[in-house]
Amino acid sequence: MIFRAYYAFIRAPRMNSKGENTSAIFGFAVTLEDLLKKISPTHVGVAFDPKGGTFRHEAYEQYKAQRPETPEDIRKAVPIIKQLLEAMNIPVLEVPGFEADDVIGTLSKQGEQAGFEVYMATPDKDYAQLVTDHVFMFRPRHSGGFELMGPKEVCDKYGIQTQSQVIDLLGLMGDVSDNIPGCKGVGEKTAVSLLQQFGSIDNMLERTDEIKGALRTKVESQVDEIKFSRFLATIRTDVPIALDEAQLAKKEPNMEALTALYRELEFTTLLRKLPQNTTAALVSPVSVPKKTKPVDTAQLDLFAAPEDQAVAANSQPPVTFDTIENRLCQYLLNPEVAFNPYKYPDFEALKADADLWNLYNEVELPLVPVLREMEQAGVRIDVTKLKQAEAVFTDELKELEQKIYILAGETFNINSPKQVGELLFDKLKLDSKAKKSRNGQYSTSEEVLMALKERHEIVGLILDHRALNKLISTYISTLPNYIAKDGKIHTTYNQTVTATGRLSSSNPNLQNLPIRSERGRFIREAVIPDDGCLFLSADYSQIELRLMAHFSQDEHMLAAFRTGQDIHAATAAKIYGLPIEEISKDQRRKAKTANFGIIYGISAFGLAQQLDCSRAEAKQLIDDYFAAFPRVINYIESQKKLARARGYAETLFGRKRYLPDINSHNATVRSFAERNAVNAPIQGTAADIIKMAMVSIHRRLQEEGLKTQMIMQVHDELNFNVPKEEVDRVREIVVSEMQNAVHLSIPLIAECGVGENWLVAH
């Protein structure tokens, strides 16, 4: 459960103001709270593995030996999680020499004998062997919520007759996660088939003459391995621990200790949920309310907690520090950390860092009124256009469904990953090596389906169906719900959320609109200017690649940008050793994918997926890329080295992204930090530049008394509502301020378009 919680936040770790990673603790606390709410147990306990080895390690030195080293942040989290359980008055159960599995196995058996209904909360499939009519698995789903598994569900999931066969199933097929060998050459399907035929490993070994072909040889030559694997996979139910009903009886938490721990960890969300009739109660955190009329920046200091949220008379409420200035200070000092309204930001530390202090005064603070005015101005939507698009897409979706049903030879729920998996792998057998995951179904992720696209026409249609269905449900049908009485969408721009410095938006999220796809053109067409105005759209041309050229100082990239060449064609020419005029569209496409992929640390596997080519070809392309642009790879490696030494990555203007996992011994965790070490300076600098441009454009529009409104920002793009008579002047201002926001080794280029809607202008 702890590992699962930690990795759920791996791409965006939860950090507190002390720079501590609290992902595992927070995820565990939320899951535990959810469990207690759903089950409402009379008795509860949490089992942990003891320090040192167990009887399995003594019997088999390689048991779990293949697992990467536990991330440091998980090791640090475990003692705090035990403190959390102590504050909640939930006993911690450990027995030296035995795993948590064995402790739970023993107590579940004793609990059943004592007349309890037992719920084992775990994602581990091994626990399925313990399930009975009164002992259940309560498995957290990847999509949220929990799955209750009794004997029938276990048998249906694994294709066996009784749940006790789970042990023999693991003995035959082994368990990669625990390094249990099993019988080499026998996978899950074969193991299930053998158990259906013989019922158990013992019966199978007595009747191996009934096994045909090479499989018999495999089984007969690995008898010891099979028996030993079964031993390792068997959860013990005879651990020296007794069911203590008084100890396990559910008790009320120690609210004072729990509150203090949540405060220390800065778990504001969980603090809010604590009962408000205790002396340890807190004032609810106050968020800056949605503005409906102009508010001076200075007035933002005045938002305070309402009186009806006061705490009990015998407790002292903490001071409320929720102001925009304080948010910006905390954000700049540590962008990974969620804002803590009860902690006064360290402005002295901000002032001591000349770059961050400049970002605060010259960029972030002046940006506040710009964003406020953009929110108030809103984006006008042509609802009729969206309705027309919905009708067209719905008909197209139905046509896709019929094509899919014809190819499948049956009707099924195309939106069900389980049913799609069964069709592709059980019926159509598109991949004989495909295995079901722990949740009992095949993966049908986009990555998996893209790899199968060439094997059957139906796969491409299913992918297209998903994309179209998402477009309809997430955008086309949903956007009208956000339209206010003035016919406009007033999104909320979030200035202190992303770790890179980029703006984000919510209610609705305009940053994720699929505007660049062919179907996305319907959304762009529905975004229109006010009456008597035109829509002006300006965006930076390949700003991240230009920044890579500036940072790496690669002479070939610099030359291409300085001479105005097509950078992707120029890249292809360099990679393939051809004159630029001889580069084919396919070669340019591959070079373009590599150009952007390299910035994000793409692997050969990832590039192969994007290009729909072999991994070998993708690896060769990456190797050729770095051979052609040696200073790019030098820059990438230097950024990793610098981040390892400093513990953070930095933009051109000094915005920092802290990377506490950059020196982790766990390869998976470390690789995420290394990718951020390369990407954060580029993406963060691009974010800084467009923020600077927004501030300067806003100032110019005000100075010249123009009525033009900046109405939307989508990453590298700015959009404006412009009176027709102001178009020429505004175009000059926007292009000039965007291109001169900063001076690099190569020119920044802003491309600008004007039209009756966003589609025409962009």
Percent of the chain with pLDDT over 90: 52
Q: What is the pLDDT of residues 234-290, one digit of tens each?
A: 888 989 999 999 999 999 999 999 999 999 998 888 888 888 644 333 333 333 333
* Alpha carbon separation from 140 to 37, 109, 417 (Å, rounded): 14, 22, 17
Q: Evaluate whether 381 touches 483 at the Cβ level (below 8 Å).
A: yes
Tell me what the mean pLDDT of segment 51-59 comes to.
Answer: 71
Q: What is the DSSP letter of 175?
A: B
Predicted local confidence at residue 309, as pLDDT:
31
**342 pLDDT more than 50:** yes
Mean pLDDT computed over every residue of the chain = 86
Candidate from 382-391, 424-433, 698-707 with smallest mean pLDDT? 424-433
**170 pLDDT more than 70:** yes
**310 pLDDT more than 70:** no
Give the sign of the dihedral formed by CA 171, CA 175, CA 179, CA 183: positive
**648 pLDDT more than 70:** yes
**316 pLDDT more than 50:** no
pLDDT band at 436 (very low <50, low <70, confident <90, very high): confident
Predicted local confidence at residue 612, as pLDDT:
75
Secondary structure (3-state) at 139:
strand
pLDDT band at 516 (very low <50, low <70, confident <90, very high): confident
- What amino acid occupies position 14? R
Candidate from 61-70, 158-167, 418-427, 659-668 with smallest mean pLDDT? 61-70
Predicted local confidence at residue 438, as pLDDT:
61
- By C-alpha distance, which of 447, 474, 732 is closest to 615? 447
Which residues is 538 bridged to in the sheet? Answer: 718, 752
Q: How many Å apart are CA 472 and CA 465, to the nearest integer? A: 11
Q: What is the pLDDT of residues 129-161, one digit of tens each?
A: 999 999 999 988 766 778 889 999 888 888 888
Candidate from 255-259, 304-308, 376-380, 465-469 with smallest mean pLDDT? 304-308
Q: Domains along the chain? A: 2-248 (3.40.50.1010), 545-681 (1.10.150.20)
Most confident of 124-128, 211-215, 362-366, 571-575: 362-366
Count CB-CB contacts under 10 A for residue 107. 25
**61 pLDDT more than 70:** no
Predicted local confidence at residue 276, as pLDDT:
60
Q: How many Å apart are CA 107 and CA 433, to the nearest integer? A: 38
Predicted local confidence at residue 440, as pLDDT:
73
Candidate from 174-188, 210-224, 462-476, 517-531 with smallest mean pLDDT? 174-188
Candidate from 279-293, 391-405, 517-531 with smallest mean pLDDT? 279-293
Secondary structure (3-state) at 264:
helix
Q: How many Å apart are CA 232 and CA 150, to the nearest integer? A: 23
- What amino acid occupies position 460? G
- The number of helix segments (H) and strand segments (E) in the chain equals 33, 16
Predicted local confidence at residue 306, as pLDDT:
29
Tell me what the mean pLDDT of segment 478-496 comes to.
Answer: 93
* Alpha carbon separation from 594 to 100, 224, 345, 588 (Å, rounded): 46, 50, 42, 10
Predicted local confidence at residue 143, as pLDDT:
64
Tell me what the mean pLDDT of segment 589-602 comes to.
Answer: 84
Predicted local confidence at residue 313, as pLDDT:
34
Q: What is the pLDDT of residues 547-566, one digit of tens each?
A: 999 999 999 999 999 999 89
**181 pLDDT more than 80:** no
What single string gives the DSSP state of each residue in 583-624?
Answer: --HHHHHHHHHHHHHHHTT--HHHHHHHHTS-HHHHHHHHHH
- By C-alpha distance, which of 525, 492, 529 is closest to 507? 492
Q: How many Å apart are CA 427 and CA 408, to the nearest integer? A: 9
Q: What is the pLDDT of residues 619-646, one digit of tens each?
A: 888 888 888 889 999 999 999 999 999 9
Q: How many Å apart are CA 421 and CA 127, to the nearest integer? A: 25
Segment 737-745 long-range contacts (CB within 8 Å, at least 24 positions apart): 737/693, 737/696, 737/697, 737/700, 738/538, 738/540, 738/690, 738/693, 738/697, 741/689, 741/690, 741/692, 741/693, 741/696, 742/652, 742/689, 742/692, 744/546, 744/547, 744/550, 745/549, 745/550, 745/553, 745/558
Predicted local confidence at residue 613, as pLDDT:
79
Q: What is the DSSP letter of 63?
A: T
Give the sign of the dihedral formed by CA 426, CA 431, CA 437, CA 439: negative
Q: What Rg, from alpha-carbon coordinates, does the chain have?
A: 30
Candidate from 294-308, 354-368, 393-407, 638-652 with smallest mean pLDDT? 294-308
Q: What is the pLDDT of residues 107-135, one digit of tens each?
A: 999 999 999 999 999 988 889 999 999 99
Angle formed by the axes of helices 72-87 and 255-265, nearest 10°: 150
**301 pLDDT more than 60:** no
